[in-house]
């Protein structure tokens, strides 16, 4: 059996955001970092069932890479996809990392805001979002990192971002699934995350049997980029706890 690492990206980025993790783990175990539907040049998916389509696309990428089970790492929107992945492909999951994400569905106001964003993207393109993205980084993030994130956003088709926004708006509440997660799990949040703050993420660690919680001090929402060393060390610890071999 071949075990690996599956990395599920955040909104409105692509698999490019995982460069520090790919660099750290490639060669030590198989690493699969797929793009969600419509991102990174992939085919899109309908907003209805978007999360399930993203999960199935990730499962297909694992199988194409010859990976039988993986430690699944989902950050933000990637966490939402990870919940769908767990429901649809539990046999592929050796361990789970839920980073800067939440289990609940969107309240009405958030759904309306996502629909409005999708409409504007379709009308104007993605330039306004790349120029003024949501608070993905802390105020102390280096300018070069901020520019890198903006460029990744700029490369994603407006229609893909709109579809993902609507997919997030329509996602189900995954909170009832937490008690049934049976694999080693790590919940990561960061003190500088204002998009999904620690008080929205941390409770999951108490609802998932045996889960551990890590709070990364100072980093913003994209903790894998702002605090790559701490994030990578945490992933390595979960990989070992899941019994997955590292070279």
pLDDT digits (tens, 9 = 90+) for 79-124: 999 999 999 999 999 999 999 999 999 999 999 999 999 999 999 9
pLDDT score at 44: 83
pLDDT tens-digit map of 59-73: 999 999 999 999 999
| Single pTM value for the model | 0.97
Within-domain flag for 14: yes
Within-domain flag for 13: yes
Share of residues in the chain with pLDDT > 90 (%)? 95
Interval 169-174 mean pLDDT: 97
Within-domain flag for 109: yes
Interval 219-242 mean pLDDT: 98
Within-domain flag for 246: no
Residue 231 has pLDDT above 90, yes or no: yes
Domain count, the chain: 1
Residue 224 has pLDDT above 90, yes or no: yes
Which residues span the domain enclosing 131?
3-241
Residue 97 sits in a domain of what CATH number?
Answer: 3.40.50.1820
**What tokens were used for 174?**
């995954």
| Nearest in space to 38 (alpha carbons), one of 126, 123, 106, 107 | 126
Within-domain flag for 217: yes
pLDDT score at 47: 84
Residue 1 has pLDDT above 90, yes or no: no
Within-domain flag for 247: no
pLDDT score at 85: 98
Within-domain flag for 78: yes
Interval 46-62 mean pLDDT: 95
First to last CA, the chain: 15
Within-domain flag for 42: yes
Name every residue whose Cβ is closer than 8 Å to that of residue 210 and which is 6 or more positions away in sequence: 184, 185
DSSP secondary structure string for all residues of 78-133: HHHHHHHHHHH-GGGEEEEEEES--SSPPPHHHHHHHHHHHHHHHHH-SHHHHHS-
Q: What are phi and psi of 150, to 5 degrees?
A: -65, -40
CB 105 within 8 A of CB 172: yes
Q: What is the mean pLDDT of the chain?
A: 97
């Amino acid at each position: 059996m071949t075990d690996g690492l599956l990395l599920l990206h955040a909104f409105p980025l692509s698999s490019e955001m995982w460069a520090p993790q790919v660099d750290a783990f490639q060669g030590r175990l198989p690493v699969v970092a797929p793009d969600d539907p419509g991102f990174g040049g992939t085919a899109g998916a309908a907003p209805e069932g978007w999360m399930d389509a993203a999960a199935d696309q990730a499962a297909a990428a694992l199988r194409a890479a010859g990976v039988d089970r993986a430690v699944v790492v989902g950050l933000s929107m990637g966490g939402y996809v990870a919940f769908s992945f767990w429901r649809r492909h539990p046999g592929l999951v050796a361990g789970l990392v839920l980073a800067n994400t939440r289990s609940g569905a969107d309240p009405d106001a958030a759904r309306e805001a996502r629909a409005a964003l999708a409409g504007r993207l379709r009308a104007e393109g993605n330039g306004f979002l790349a120029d003024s993205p949501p608070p993905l980084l802390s105020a102390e993030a280096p300018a070069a990192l901020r520019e890198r994130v903006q460029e990744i956003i700029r490369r994603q088709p407006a229609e893909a971002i709109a579809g993902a926004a609507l997919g997030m708006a329509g996602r189900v509440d995954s909170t009832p699934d937490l008690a049934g997660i049976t694999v080693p799990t790590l919940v990561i949040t960061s003190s500088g995350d204002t998009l999904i703050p620690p008080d929205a993420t941390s409770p999951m660690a108490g609802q998932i049997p045996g889960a551990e919680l890590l709070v990364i001090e100072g980093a913003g929402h994209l903790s894998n980029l702002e605090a790559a060393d701490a994030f990578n060390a945490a992933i390595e610890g979960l990989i070992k706890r899941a019994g997955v071999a590292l070279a």
